[in-house]
Amino acid sequence: MGELEKALRTRRDEGGRSFVPYVTGGVPGVNVELLRGLQRVGADAIEVGIPHSDPVMDGGVIQEASRRSLEAGTRPGDVLATIREAALSIPVAVMTYVNPVLRRGISPFLDEAREAGVAGTIVPDLPVDEADAFDAACALRGIDAVLLAAPGAGADRLARIGAAAHGFVYCVAAYGVTGARGSLSNVAWELVDAVRAHTDLPLLIGLGIGTPQLAAEACGFADGVIVGSALMSRLLEGDPDGTVELAGAFRDAIPIAR
């Protein structure tokens, strides 16, 4: 069990729910001070995106964040350097796509990530059917390889995901791409219920958690939430202080303990 899984299990075992904010590395304002600010307001872990030119899971806000980051010349090593410098006491997971990992090489990429203090990886376009080598390389370095469960997946596939995942299972709350939404779809709780039959890992909902109220609603049946587009919208407006303030509002809406 890696650091990421330990932190989220501890929160769950204490009767609380986890808050994991997402930010795209390399975007102006995504720096050491921001990561430390997110930790200060109560994040249980932080997901930091490594920008990619074809972010197939992401909607308009994160696409724009990736575009700005790449136009600024951001490379994976730059994002990892920020994580290293922040030296957080909570786990950090990096989210990227499989091409940047393969271009660097799985082992070199993970070695650099581990050296930077990364505790988990999220690679949305690496399905469970093709993840064995990557997962094994993560396990050798004590990095939790998070897998995604999507609406519509059958019981056999969810069982494979539950057996292979580490850290937590990222439960995709709706059909489509990332982006803040005004309400939770029924598929969110249906998916969490279905996945829970196949694993004891913490189950976190991501994609579409646009307000603290929705986060609180999601935490009524899930073990926590991942919030990205709502926070990145503030950052793209040039408001890092407002981003941290909004993250605090999400944390305040989510139970910490019984």
Q: Which amino acid, 67?
A: R
Q: How far apart are CA 81 and CA 115, in angstroms?
A: 10
- Indicate the length of the chain as a whole number: 258
Catalytic residue selected from 3, 58, 144, 223: 58
In the residue annotation, 58 being an active-site residue is answered as: yes
Q: Which amino acid, 158?
A: L
Q: How far apart are CA 180 and CA 113, in angstroms?
A: 29
Are the beta carbons of 227 and 21 closer than 8 angstroms?
yes
In the residue annotation, 47 being an active-site residue is answered as: yes
What DSSP assignment string belongs to 18-56? EEEEEEETTSTT-SHHHHHHHHHTT-S-EEEEPP-S--T
Beta bridge partners of 204: 170, 224
What DSSP assignment string belongs to 110-134? HHHHHHTT--EEE-TTS-GGG-HHH
Q: Which amino acid, 139?
A: A
In a 3-state reduction of DSSP, which class is residue 26?
coil
Catalytic residue selected from 47, 135, 144, 223: 47
Annotated catalytic sites, by residue?
47, 58
